[in-house]
A and B are shown apart, each in its own frame.
Chain A
Amino acid sequence: MNKDVLSGLVLLVIAGLYYAATGQIADSTLSDEVGADGLPRVLSILLASLGLLLLVRSLLAARAAPRLAAVAADGKEADARLPRALGFLLFGAAYVLVLPFLGYLASTALLIGAIALFERTERPSMVPVIAIGGAVLYWAIFVKLLGVNQPVGSLWRGILS
C-alpha cells in the first residue's frame, strides 16, 4: 500500500480515537464558553480532514507512475532497516524495565554492552570492559559530579540491607 494512503488512514484512526476520548473529559463549573473539550474536538476534526485530504490526494496521485516509483525505491531501504530500528528500541524498553531492579550502574552497563553487540561490534571480547567502564564513567559524571539522582536498584538495596 502507498505510504501516503496508509498515513491518511492512520491519521483518521488517531482522529477517531482522540475524538472518542474527548467524551471522557468531565464537565466543570469553572468551565468557559469553549470548555475543556472544545479545542480537542476541533483538533480531532482538523486531523480527520487532513487525513482524508492526504488519502484522497494520494489515491488521485497514484496515476503519476514516475513519482510513485521513486517513492517506492526510497521506501525499500528504510523498510529493510525497520526491524533493526525496532530492535534498538526494545533494548531501551528492557532498560526501563530493569532500571528500578538493577539500578543505574548495572542497567547502563548492560545497555551499552547490548547495543554494542546488537550493532555488531568488531571486537566483542572488549564489550564487558567498555560497557562497565562506560557505566562507571556516566555514574561518576552524573551521580557524583553533577549530583543527579539515579536509581540504586532494589536488588542491591535488598542485599546491602
Chain B
Amino acid sequence: MNHLWDIVQLVTTTPLVFVAIGGLIWGILGGALPGISASITMALVLPFTYTMNPAMAIALLACVYIGAEYGGSIPAILIRTPGTNSAAATVIDGYELNRQGRAGEALGISLMSGVVGSLFGLAMLVLLTEPLSWVALLFKPTSYFALGILGLSVIASMTGGSLVKGLAAAVIGLMIATVGTDPISGVTRFTFGVPDLLSGVEPVLVMVGLFALTELMSQSGTSNIPRLKDSIRIKLPSLAVMNRLKRSQFIGCLFGLFEGLTPGGGGSIAAFMSYNEARRWSKTPEKFGKGSEEGVAAPETANNTVASTTLIPLLSFGIPSSNSTAVLLGGLLMHGLLPGPRLFEQNPQVIDSLYVGSLIAIIAQIGVGIVILPACIWLVNRPRPYLAGFIFALILSGIYTLNNSTFDLGLALVLGLVGYFMRLAQFPFLPMILGVVLGHMVESSYRRSLVLSGGDHAIFLEDPIAVGLLLAAAGFAIYSLTREYLDARALRLQGARS
C-alpha cells in the first residue's frame, strides 16, 4: 500500500508525466527520420539528461526508446524506408497496405500492436527483473570479472560479421576505458598531460561519436528521401480487427520476450522471426507480402516488446544487449547508478520512475501517435541538408553541455572519425562501446580478485559462478568461430560451383 502511495506521489509531485510524454514525442520524431535509429535518438538526448534528476533522466531515455520503436514504422509504411532497423520487417506488408490506399489502417495497426507489445514487455520487465537481479548478490569480484568478459564476448560474437573484428573492437573499448586515473593506485594513465583526460573518456562521448556523428558523416551527400503525403491520418483498428490480430500479436510478444532476453538479439531479429511465425500460423498465409494486417501486427508487437524486455538483462546484471540499452546503461552510469540488486534497494525511485514513466508513455502513445503524425510527416519532408545541419548542431550543443568543454567536442569528433573508418572496415560499434562502459568493472574486479588471492590466478577457478560464466564466454566464441568457418566454406563452395 505504501508503495502504491509512493507511485501516486511520484506521478503527482514530479514532472514524470511531462518527461514521459516528452521522451515519447522525441522518440517518435527521431524514429520516424530514416537513418536515425532508436539508439541515435537516445544518444542525441543523453547529454541533456546530465543535469536532470537521475530518476527523470532514466525514465526519459526509456520513453524515448519506446517512442522510437513506434516512430520507425511510420516511414516504413509510408515510403518503404524503415525509420529504425527493427521496422524493416514492417515494410513488407505495411507498404503494400499503403499502396492499396490503406496507409491509415496500417499505421493504426502498427500503433495498437506496439501498445500491446509494449504493455506485455513492461509486465515482463516488472515481473522478472528484480528476482533476477538478486542472483547478482551471490557475485564476488571474480564473478563480476567473468560477467564482464562474458558480456564482451557475447556482444563481439553476436553482432554479426567477424569475431576477430568484434573482439578487437572490444579490446579498443577497454583501452579507451584505461585512460585517466587508475582506480586502484590513483596513478594517471595515457593522459599525456591533458587535464581534461584525468577523469577518463566519458562513455557518452563514445556513444554520441560512434552512433550519431558516424551516421551523419555516412549520410553526407545522400539524396533526399521520397516525400510523404500530408493528408494521411491514422485509423485505429476496431475491436473485431484487434481480435483477428491477437494470434500474430501473441507470437510477436513471445519472440519479443525471447529476443529481449538474448544478448545481441534485438528488435530486428524479433520482428523478422515473428513475421515468419505469424505467416506460418496464420489462417490466411497467402496474404503475407500482399498487404496482410497480421504481417504488420506481428513485427510491430515484437519490436515494441523488445524495447522493454531488453532492459531485463541490463537492469539485472548491467549487461546491455543492444545499442539502445548500451545508451541507457551510459545514462545510468553517468548518474552514478550501477545496475543490479542495489539499484532496486538504494534507488527505488529510479526503478519506479522507469516503470511508471514507461507505462505513461505506452498509454499516451495511442493519443500522441495520432496527434504527432502530421509533425512526423512535416519533419521527414524537411530538406536533408537542413536536417543534417540541425542534427549536427544539436549533437555538438549536447556534448558541450556535459562539462562545458570544447575538448569534449574535439574528442567526440575524433571518435566520429574513428567510427566512420570502423564502419568502412566493417568493425562493429557495440563491442567497443561495451568495452568503454564495462572497462572499469572488468579491471577493478580482476585486480581486486588478485589482491584477495595474493596474485594467484587460480582464484578464478575456485568460484563456480566465474567458471560458469567464463565457460559460457568461451562457448559463444567457439560458436561464432564455427559459424564463420561454415559461412566461409559455403561461400567457397558456391564460388567453385559458379
Which of A's residues lie within 8 Å of B, judged by CB? 3-4, 6-7, 11, 14, 18, 21-22, 25-28, 30-40, 43-44, 46-47, 50-51, 53-54, 57, 61, 64-67, 75, 78-79, 81-82, 84-89, 91-93, 95-96, 99-100, 104, 108, 111-123, 130-131, 134-135, 138, 142, 146-151
Contacts and interface: CB of A to CB of B under 8 A. Distances in A.
B378 to A, nearest CB: 15
Interface string B392-421: 111011001100101001100100110010
Contact of A28 (B185, B417, B423): B185
A148 B48 contact: yes
A9 to B, nearest CB: 11
A113 B389 CA distance: 7
A88 B220 contact: yes
Nearest to A147: B51
B421 to A, nearest CB: 8
B175 A95 contact: no
B48 A146 contact: yes
Contact of B190 (A21, A53, A147): A21
A133 B191 CA distance: 40
A96 B420 contact: no
A93 B410 contact: yes
8 contacts: A27-B187, A30-B186, A32-B450, A38-B447, A65-B495, A115-B392, A121-B386, A135-B393
B385 to A, nearest CB: 3
Interface string B215-228: 01110110000000
Interface of B: 48, 51, 162, 164-165, 167-168, 171-172, 174-175, 178, 182, 184-190, 213, 216-218, 220-221, 383-386, 388-390, 392-394, 396-397, 400-401, 404, 406, 409-410, 413, 416-417, 420, 423-427, 443, 446-447, 450-451, 454-455, 488, 491-492, 494-495, 498
A36 B423 CA distance: 32
Contacts of B423: 78
Given A54-B165, A64-B495, A66-B495, A93 B221 contact: no
Contacts of A35: 185
